[in-house]
Amino acid sequence: MPSNRCAHQMSTKKKAERVDSMITFLKSAVQSQKEKGGQPDQAPGNAMMTAKLLELWSVPQSTITEMRLLLTLGADPAPLLKDDIGEKILADRMDNGSVCEECAPKFKAFLEFSGTIFEEMFERTPIQINKTKKVDGVMALCLDGGGMRGLVSVVCLLYASRRLLGDESLPNLFDWFIGTSTGSMLALSMVNKKSISECFFQYWDMKSQIFLRGSTVKRLLGDQVAVQTKNIDKVLEECFPTETLQACSTRLTIPALDISTAPARLHIFRNYSFTKPFGVSLNEDQDILFREAARASSAAPTYFEPFVYGTKVLVDGSFVANYPLNVLFKEYDSFSRHQNPLHLAGVLSIGTGEPALAERKYKSGKSIKAKAMNIGHLSTLILEQVVGQDLTAVEMAQERCHAHNIPFNRLSPKGIAVRIDQIDDAKLMEMIWTTLMYLTENVHEIDQLGEMIYKLKSDPTERKRRSNTVL
């Protein structure tokens, strides 16, 4: 007989097992949808998820994390909302103790907002564009750094693609990917033909494959960095066993920081020449494996060891380009300096979330323990700055795009305050819920992206017909 205790009172192992089981189910459902080629409103994967959501809502040991995962990937909450079935079941669970007072507000919020989230994400009429139409110029997709907060970027792409196009084809519209740190891993996965949903699962799986549980002090004083370095090397080799930048048909830019000299210098991995047409063979000695570029750009100090590349010692690109928009325009200007100007048709910047302003708790002390804690606080402060506290680069990019009439869009939810090495399922899912809520409350930001895509990718006759219809 299942226990009537609230799910959050289960052991860490038991909760992890439930979430792992859910991820396995979701992978199967998504794969079924992919094989049948179904659309969001009729896909067998969505039907499976919807049935699962209704089933689990009544299960005493089911968690809000499972419900939110189902919604994120496509479960329709309508059966729960019909005739207040979900509320009645929740009331019974609260009465029998399988949902406690602490967890009840999260279940109630799911009933209150899940219908709107699903409607805005999955049920909008897709914009009518010609996906095969060539755009005059290059469309650039910039992906920020932020460790496990890369899940925020994945959900932003998933939400926008489903809302605007009715499928997961949004990344296919871009022909220049610029990614830093976790953004490099996401960029390389997408150009390697992984769907956005598959990228979601990749991130979810690799959190426990790479990161160990432990404090900043343990990382600094123990062998955790060495172990995590071996872990990320293994994960990247499994993700990208043989792929190289020069064999990729999409323009790629991956920044890292070379610390072999003082001062340190920006190092950029790229698969194009500033003087030759894209696609022309380059010097093979300059080629690099996907996994090496991602490893170099993701080598965050105190988390991973530096990546040695020839005579260079490379660390996380976030130190110089967490928002890689500055690298995008550096490369863009280099084409002009070499008398080979590149036309930017549009820019999409995807962030890993911005934290809400909060008071910092910081105490000094003279004991060895206090000093060690201070070092940990300082390390955290530095890495916070590295992974996205200063939006100056974004503001400068916006101003430059506006001045040169280049369409610019950015998606980066507010209120995200999760460590880059967070591996707790519930905390990561809370982050994703915050992302879904933000995107739903700010769908105008996604629709502005839709307007850019429509103008660039729709046929002139369709634009004229739509204009006449509006008039």
Q: In the structure, how many helices (H) and strands (E) does the chain have?
A: 19, 8
Cα-based torsion angle of the residue sequence 280, 284, 286, 289 in order, rounded to the nearest 10 degrees: 100
**pTM (2 d.p.):** 0.90
pLDDT band at residue 280 under the 50/70/90 scheme: confident
Structural domains in the chain?
A: 7-123 (no CATH), 138-354+389-457 (3.40.1090.10)
pLDDT at 458 over 90: no
- Prior bond of 263 cis (ω within 30°): yes
Residue 22 is predicted with a pLDDT of 97
Q: 252 - beta bridge partners? A: 177
Q: Pinpoint the alpha helices (H) of 338-367.
A: none
pLDDT in tens, 21-34: 999 999 999 988 77
Residue 407, pLDDT above cutoff 80: yes
Mean pLDDT calculated for residue range 38-57: 76
pLDDT band at residue 378 under the 50/70/90 scheme: low
What tens digit of pLDDT does each residue of 242-253 get? 999 999 999 999
The C-alpha atoms of residue 416 and residue 434 are separated, in whole angstroms, by 7
Overall average pLDDT of the 261-277 stretch: 94
Task: Note the pLDDT of residue 358.
Answer: 52
- pLDDT for residue 261 is more than 60: yes
Catalytic residues: 181, 316
pLDDT above 70 covers a percentage of the chain that reads 85
